[in-house]
Amino acid sequence: MPVNEEFKPTIVAFCCNWCSYAGADLSGTNRLQYPANVKIIRIPCSCRLNPMFVLRAFQRGADGVILCGCHPGDCHYTTGNYYARRRMTLLFSMLDFLGIERERTRVEWVSAAEGAKFAATMNDFSATIHKLGPNRRLEDLRCRKD
């Protein structure tokens, strides 16, 4: 898929309520820009992210999915992100094994103080997805917008 100048990737960012969602708020408070195609969904903890949600996003036309949570060791619920870390590692590995571009999925730990990191992460992720082009391997044609 050639890089399309007009291509505006859809990126879904799942953010845990306590660290990363607050980090995202902070990057707003500091007026740090990142692309508008990043849309945030608030979840209580990174461990709430069901692999089904990731697939659902790809089905419905997301080009990239990123999970942000508290840094390991800092989880509001003590251990949630440790479970999320294992789950996502294995899920991403499975997607990679199926030949889905591994760059389309990412996990990043962003604390409530890391507004700058949040913006930088989203800029970087968005650029990566832009380079990759639209998600064609894990989309549902019935959802494609033509």
Does 116 bind another protein (CB under 8 A)? Our answer is no
Does 94 bind another protein (CB under 8 A)? Our answer is yes
**What is the spatial distance between Cα 89 and Cα 75, in angstroms, rounded to a whole number?**
18
Report CA dihedral (110, 114, 116, 120) to the nearest 10 degrees: -10
* Residue 94 backbone dihedrals phi, psi, to 5 degrees: -65, -45
Does 36 bind another protein (CB under 8 A)? Our answer is yes
State the minimum distance, in angstroms, from the CB of residue 13 to another protein: 10
State the minimum distance, in angstroms, from the CB of residue 20 to another protein: 12
Among 9, 20, 21, 125, binds another protein (CB under 8 A): 21
State the minimum distance, in angstroms, from the CB of residue 103 to another protein: 7
SS3 state at 81: helix
Does 124 bind another protein (CB under 8 A)? Our answer is no
**What is the spatial distance between Cα 54 and Cα 138, in angstroms, rounded to a whole number?**
11
